[in-house]
Amino acid sequence: MMRWAVIICAVALLASCRHAADELLEPDRPFTMQLPAGFPAMPTSDDNPLTEASVAMGKELFFDERLSRTGMVSCASCHFPERAFSDTLPLSMGVDGLPGMRNAPPLVNLAWHSGYFRDGGVPTLEQQAIAPIHDPLEMDFSITRAAADLRNLEPYASLSRRAYGKPMEAYELTRALAAYQRTLVSGWSRYDRYTSGDASALSASEQHGLELFRSDALNCTACHSGFDLNDHGYHNVGQYLSYSDPGRERITLVPSDHGKFKTPTLRNIALTAPYMHDGSMATLEEVIDFFASGGQPHVNRDPEMQSFALSPQDKADLIAFLLALTDERPIDQVP
């Protein structure tokens, strides 16, 4: 009798403990995103709303080296926050120190992209997160194993329950990473202040650089247009006569897409060197000289590519303008 009473008490105690733990969890609230003036509404994902817990969980995961086979590589090992989440190496190195295929792009304003990777081969950020974790040249691990290793550990145990109402599995892991990355918004540069009416935000040289950038002669805005200086399209700019990386053709298998790559944003370009899909250009001078040449006559070269001449002063002004595209506040809004 006594023994039963103890057991019943113990069970009751456990149940009340669990109940108490549930009550201790803060209720999940929508994450309040700040968007720069003039930005279109952020496309949202119905099955993955941005909440305080989902973005916090994604941020923990983004910096967690336990998502890699060696426990030494996190997403941030190739996407440095202080570099607008890009890499400083032409080709990033993964778990075994071997270089991958392409240069790691900055991770900003991704919510507005319709395809991820430089060839646009992955349609959602949720699906994208699987690729680096499984890629043998990147993290060489498995999302199901990573989720199993971490699900009972804090802060994942509480955050996953708050955000998704259940312990973390691969599904929640990829959703949280996607949610965090949607919050990485860039649009607070001196250029933005200038275009919203503060004439003193750009120097005379930078203003002249902006005029050149927008001019028909240079034609930059044929592709680097809109709020993200990016048409979200794919173009062959004639970087090579013969490309070792097929680019967009890898996805579509259409020969006219050979050598086409997604237009990169020019935001934070001061921080994201080296440039181009293969990181082959180290400086903005090199990039400008390349565009001034009009590119190589590749059969798929975009008709909008045209050669032009710049005086040394014009070139300095154009670069000064590009350097004014750096955010004046952190890109990462998640506390």
Interface ranges with ligand HEC (CB under 6 A): 67, 73, 75, 77-79, 92, 94, 100, 102, 104-105, 107, 110, 113, 116-118, 125, 128-129, 132-133, 138-139, 177, 181, 218-220, 222-224, 235, 237, 239, 261, 263-264, 266, 269, 272, 275-277, 284, 287, 291, 302, 304-305
Nearest approach, Cβ of residue 162 and ligand HEC (Å): 21
- The DSSP string of 267-328 is TTGGGS-SBSTT--B-SHHHHHHHHHHT----TT--TT-------HHHHHHHHHHHHTTSBS
Nearest approach, Cβ of residue 176 and ligand HEC (Å): 10
Nearest approach, Cβ of residue 300 and ligand HEC (Å): 11
Nearest approach, Cβ of residue 170 and ligand HEC (Å): 12
Pick the closer one to ligand HEC by CB: 10 or 105. Answer: 105
Nearest approach, Cβ of residue 144 and ligand HEC (Å): 14
Nearest approach, Cβ of residue 327 and ligand HEC (Å): 15
Pick the closer one to ligand HEC by CB: 158 or 286. Answer: 286
Closest C-alpha among 269, 248, 255 to residue 320 = 269
Nearest approach, Cβ of residue 26 and ligand HEC (Å): 25
Torsion of CA 35, 40, 41, 44, to 10 degrees: -100
Pick the closer one to ligand HEC by CB: 21 or 72. Answer: 72
Tokens at residue 17, please? 């403990």
3-state SS, residue 181: helix
Pick the closer one to ligand HEC by CB: 235 or 258. Answer: 235
Separation of alpha carbons 79 and 92, rounded Å = 9
Nearest approach, Cβ of residue 130 and ligand HEC (Å): 9
Q: Which amino acid is at 266?
A: L
Question: Is the N-terminal amide bond of 274 cis, ω within 30° of 0?
Answer: yes
3-state SS, residue 260: strand
What values do phi and psi take at 298, rounded to 5?
Answer: -70, 145
Nearest approach, Cβ of residue 100 and ligand HEC (Å): 5
Do residues 187 and 39 make contact, with C-beta atoms less than 8 angstroms apart? yes
Do residues 181 and 110 make contact, with C-beta atoms less than 8 angstroms apart? yes
Question: Is the N-terminal amide bond of 335 cis, ω within 30° of 0?
Answer: no
The neighbouring-strand residues paired with 261 are 235
Q: Which amino acid is at 252?
A: T
- Find where tokens 């540069």 sit: 189
How big is the CA angle at 303 (ends 250 and 233), to the nearest 5 degrees?
A: 45
Pick the closer one to ligand HEC by CB: 257 or 302. Answer: 302
3-state SS, residue 30: strand
